[in-house]
């Protein structure tokens, strides 16, 4: 696609929106009250709005390589804090995807420079679930499972934050773990058991 096409597409999009509702942008400019915070992979194939079928204003989005919720990443932590405490979203989603280049890269014995500390988080997930993963003979199936376990661990990381713990107590905010299957377009709910994880980790991670 050429750069000029982007601006042509934008004009076309404006016209389409206004044809349905002449006050569309006037209403959009008034503010946002999204119900969801979506944390997903930067992969160009996994666009939050498209796979969820939502419109502008409906989902607050953060994307990074391999959808990580890292405790010392100011970026993701600021997004979580703002979305949960100020926008008051009621659902926080971590969405991974099969064929994730970040997850694959994390399992290779190569020096990837600045990506090493980032991808190390995924190696830690592997170490936590080493027995289960090593028992899977098929390499592709093993990567797919690591994608799922990575989503699960990032959900656990979300539950370790004060903002999420507090919002869960106050208004029943929930954390969800999903995987997008690039091969079929299907969104899979991993059915993360929020209450069970909470109970399991609160002894150590309770902040509020």
Q: Is 41 a catalytic residue?
A: yes
CA angle 171, 188, 156 (to 5 degrees): 50
Asked whether the beta carbons of 201 and 192 are under 8 A apart, the reply is no
- Is the CB of 17 or the CB of 104 nearer to Co ion? 104
**Residue 111 appears among annotated catalytic residues:** no
Active site residue: 97, 155, 168, 176, which one?
Answer: 97
Q: Cβ 2 to Co ion, closest distance in Å?
A: 26
Q: CB nearer to Co ion: give 182 or 201.
A: 182
97 is annotated as an active-site residue: yes
Q: Are strands 187-189 and 174-180 parallel, antiparallel or unpaired?
A: antiparallel
Token duo for residue 53: 């079928």
Q: Which of 41, 62, 168, 176 is catalytic?
A: 41
Which of 43, 62, 95, 176 is the catalytic position?
43
Select 119 or 167, whichever has its Cβ closest to Co ion.
119
45 is catalytic: yes
CA dist., res. 54 & res. 96, Å (int): 18
Give least dist CB 122 to Co ion, A: 10
Going by the DSSP 8-state scheme, the letter that residue 58 receives in this structure is S
User: Can you read off the two tokens belonging to residue 141?
Assistant: 């199936």
Angle of CA points 83, 39, 139, to nearest 5°: 165
State in angstroms the smallest separation of the CB of 46 from Co ion. 7
Query: What would you measure as the largest C-alpha separation in the chain, in angstroms?
Result: 58
Shortest Å, Cβ 67 to Co ion: 7
Considering 95, 100, 168, 176, which one is annotated as catalytic? Answer: 100
91 is catalytic: no
**Distance in angstroms between the alpha carbons of the first and the last residue of the chain:** 49
Which of 59, 72, 68, 45 has the alpha carbon at shortest distance from 149? 68
Interacting residue ranges for Co ion, rule: CB under 5 A: 41, 43, 100, 102
Nearer to Co ion by C-beta: 75 or 169?
75
* Residues involved in catalysis: 41, 43, 45, 97, 100
């Amino acid at each position: 696609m050429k750069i000029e096409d982007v601006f042509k597409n934008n004009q076309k999009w404006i016209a389409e929106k206004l044809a349905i509702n002449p006050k569309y942008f006037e209403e959009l400019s008034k503010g946002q009250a999204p119900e969801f915070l979506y944390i997903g992979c930067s992969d160009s194939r996994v666009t939050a709005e498209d796979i969820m079928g939502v419109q502008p204003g409906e989902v607050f989005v953060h994307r990074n390589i391999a959808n990580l919720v890292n405790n010392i990443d100011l970026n993701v932590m600021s997004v979580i804090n703002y979305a949960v405490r100020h926008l008051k979203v009621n659902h926080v989603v971590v969405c991974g995807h099969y064929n994730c280049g970040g997850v694959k890269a994390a399992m290779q014995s190569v020096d990837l420079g600045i990506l090493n500390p980032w991808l190390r988080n995924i190696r830690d997930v592997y170490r936590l679930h080493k027995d289960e993963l090593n028992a899977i003979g098929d390499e592709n199936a093993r990567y797919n499972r690591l994608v799922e376990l990575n989503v699960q661990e990032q959900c656990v990381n979300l539950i370790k934050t004060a903002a999420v713990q507090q919002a869960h107590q106050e208004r029943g905010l929930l954390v969800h773990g999903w995987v997008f299957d690039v091969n079929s377009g299907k969104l899979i709910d991993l059915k993360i058991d929020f209450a069970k994880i909470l109970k399991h980790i609160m002894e150590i991670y309770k902040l509020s």
